[in-house]
Structure 1
């Protein structure tokens, strides 16, 4: 299986300092959040990878994946795709609000813009339809000659993958409200077909013409539906399933937005793995007595000390209402930050919000009386006491990303805008510990040194906090999957894709680095 090339800074072979030995705990991820999928004229399964900014073509027989579009552009976050009658490929670019067309000769052009979070896409008899992943989304017909979009329906509760059925009607899900609707592409009143479903994310028709609906829920159930109800369901084994495509013999290929991967369900109901799942980041990581906890945006995972891969513990994105970025520990509990501005404490299924209204909080670290949070968007470092009191430890910083606390109580923060690592003094002032770094992100302290992911240079550095000497511990580390045209905060149009965050954790066995440019975890042992 071919590796997926990463975006961001060019990195060479992995190199480590002579006193360190590298071992992989997991990775890389073959599919970087597999979303929309459609079989192309070449017989391969083409897959939109939202987090990778790429479209790949999978040979379902050999498992080989070729990157066809991206990561060097032009996509920001492709979510779904469909082929036209002439072999042209149409791709929705959700954060950018665009619809792209790729002709068979490789030429790419924009055919529609100004759409709020375009998601589901369908082609029928020379006509292109797109819906919006929004609380009050629209269902649109795209004028391929550049005219205004035609609105077929409004009020979609998060639209997603859709298809035209044998009856000639366009069928589409309301992901949030658990419904499936249909409408005549030529106009009319939308009709609700199904309700009470668990997060219907994709509506398809198999070769026999049966209505099939895929769930984004914990079991990734693929239902067979008729007569306004569910006839049967098969658990595909993909949590956070996103899309499904059928072969002529009725085999269903199911993608996973939460962890990538691909499972196939044969006509008899047997499930097999086609592409393994992996990490979407990883983002923040923290050491525990029995391994490493990983905040992986959609999931919370655990990596053991032996390099046996990762185990998903829970899917907090559905419990805390946002993608998980930073992770820390305080008095045996896990603390998370989310891209919706919240800080949460607890565990699977039992999270308590301890702060809200922050602007892009990222790194978090436990202290003797609470936690510290780097609030990247506001330029502050905040202390949240166990009683909920919030105080500023620093302000006016240029994009602080991560915080680390040392055995002596010292607090250090990475500042990506200024390329610095700062020590926060108790009097509210700061001292520069390292400068001239290219986008420092994750940081950890082990009692003797600070370890920092210099994401813009693709290396891990060791910082002596007393002498302020900076040395390279490892280079050739893939830290960034962001396409080159996407800004550091990943904002583009009305929406955004998750900003990269290369986490670092230190424990008695050495240093663990999150390779956020490939979906891997690397341990450096002394």
Structure 2
């Protein structure tokens, strides 16, 4: 791991050109910042992230793989030998089953206990699968950027309509279930963030006009949002207007996935060069010193 220098906001103009070395501007100086994984460690260009029971799960889009990092060892759980092409997002159900989407292969997938993965639901309506959320009733919700729908996949593997076109959702890039049962959806095409209550009522949340939500993650009442178009990490508390926590520049500008621990540590994935298979995962540690013990 290597600590990253947090630049003062006055350096923005000097560091914004493509091709510059990686740089991060911390608007909230209560965080320490460090790189925890990079291409040399065995990842390529990571997308979706998930923190669960002390481990970080990674949808490694550039490497066509699902990986797990326990803070010391990086393990590949499934790869292209199972048919994976570009894993997008991932969630763990209450029974411990790890599900993921693949925006090139399409459909809903699950990681097998014996290793590898299998597709459990497919079809044209699930082509270009993007965001994924765990249904409290035992199913899984999957967003499709091609059909512009959100489908519920039942434990039997059957699919049924859930939401999507009804609310004008075009590209459900990332989704997460809140403690109250509502579903938060980041629409990366229409630049919208919406909340759908357990009763089916939709409410659009107020976000800046230039915020294009890429990935979202919940930690208690705090929603974390990445914006890959502008390289910004946002924090949003109780549906209040989001505030910028960090700005990523140069080789770090294309931020994608985000995961949050209960202790407040934030992980962010970066695709510095998808075609070349280069990327990073960094973390922001609150009230700590980079390199110190943290979840």
TM-score with structure 1 setting the length: 0.42
User: Unpaired segments of 5 or more residues in structure 2?
Assistant: 2-38, 274-278
CA distance in 1 between partners of 2:254 and 2:287 (Å): 23
Residue 185 of structure 1, CA deviation: 4.5
Q: Which residue of 1 aligns with 2:43?
A: 31
Cα distance in 1, alignment partners of residues 105 and 269 from structure 2:
22
After superposition, give the CA deviation of every residue in 1:472-493 in whole Å (9 maximum; x if it has no partner). Answer: xxxxxxxxxxxxxxxxxxxxxx
Q: What are the superposed Cα offsets for residues 325-380 of structure 1, whole Å, 9 maximum, x if unpaired?
A: xxxxxxxxxxxxxxxxxxxxxxxxxxxxxxxxxxxxxxxxxxxxxxxxxxxxxxxx
Matched, 1:239 2:256: no
Does the residue aligned with 1:96 lie in a helix, a strand or coil? coil
Give the corresponding residue for 1:378: none
CA displacement, residues 218-245 of structure 1 (integer Å, 9 cap, x when unaligned): 4332333444412453335632211111
Distance in 2, Cα, partners of 1:73 & 1:166: 34
Decide whether the 8 Å contact of 2:206 with 2:240 is kept in 1.
Answer: yes
1:52 to 56, 60, 63: 63
- Once residues 174 and 65 of structure 1 are traced to their aligned partners in structure 2, the CA distance between those partners, rounded to angstroms, is 31
Q: Distance in 1 between matches of 2:114 and 2:82?
A: 17
Q: CA deviation at 1:163?
A: 0.7
Deviations 1:451-482 (A, max 9, x none): xxxxxxxxxxxxxxxxxxxxxxxxxxxxxxxx
Give the corresponding residue for 1:77.
86
Aligned residues of 1:143 and 1:150 also touching (Cα < 8 A): no
Q: Which residue of 1 aligns with 2:144?
A: 132
* Pairing partner for 1:223 from 219, 222, 235: 235
Following the alignment from structure 1 to structure 2, what is the Cα–Cα distance between the partners of residues 185 and 76?
33
Question: In the superposition, relative to structure 1, how do residues 269 and 203 fare at CA in structure 2: closer, same or farther (>3 Å)?
Answer: farther
Gapped regions of structure 1 (runs ≥ 5) = 2-26, 273-526
Partner of 1:174: 187
> For the Cα contact (< 8 Å) 1:178–1:198, is it kept in 2?
yes
Secondary structure, counterpart of 2:258 in structure 1: strand
How many residue pairs match? The answer is 241
Tell me which of 59, 62, 65 is aligned to 2:74.
Answer: 65
Distance 2:89 2:132 in 1: 6
8 Å contact kept, 1:240–1:258: yes
Q: Which residue of 1 aligns with 2:285?
A: 266
Deviation track 1:120-165 (CA, whole Å, cap 9, x = no partner) reads 111142231111234x611221122132322322232322121111
C-alpha deviation, 1:258, in angstroms: 4.1
Q: 2:267 aligns with which of 242, 245, 253?
A: 253
| 1:182–1:36 CA distance, 2 compared to 1 (3 A) | same
Partner of 1:108: 117
Indicate the structure whose relative CO is greater, using CA pairs within 8 Å and at least 6 residues apart.
Answer: 2
Q: How does 1:105-504 map to 2 (within 5 A)?
A: 105-106=114-115, 108-114=117-123, 115-125=126-136, 126-134=138-146, 137-154=148-165, 155-185=168-198, 188-195=200-207, 196-206=209-219, 208-235=220-247, 238-259=252-273, 260-268=279-287
* Structure with greater helix percent: 2
> Contact 1:203 / 1:213 at 8 angstroms: preserved in 2?
yes
Residues 254 and 137 of structure 1: CA distance in aligned 2, closer, same or farther (over 3 Å): same
Deviation at 1:178, TM superposition (A): 2.0
- Mapped contact 2:224–2:233 kept (Cα < 8 A): no
Label 1:219 to 1:156 Cα distance change in 2 as closer, same or farther (>3 A).
same
Structure number with larger C-alpha Rg: 1
Counterparts of 1:252 and 1:179 in 2: how far apart (Å)? 22
8 Å contact from structure 2 (residues 214, 228) kept in 1? yes
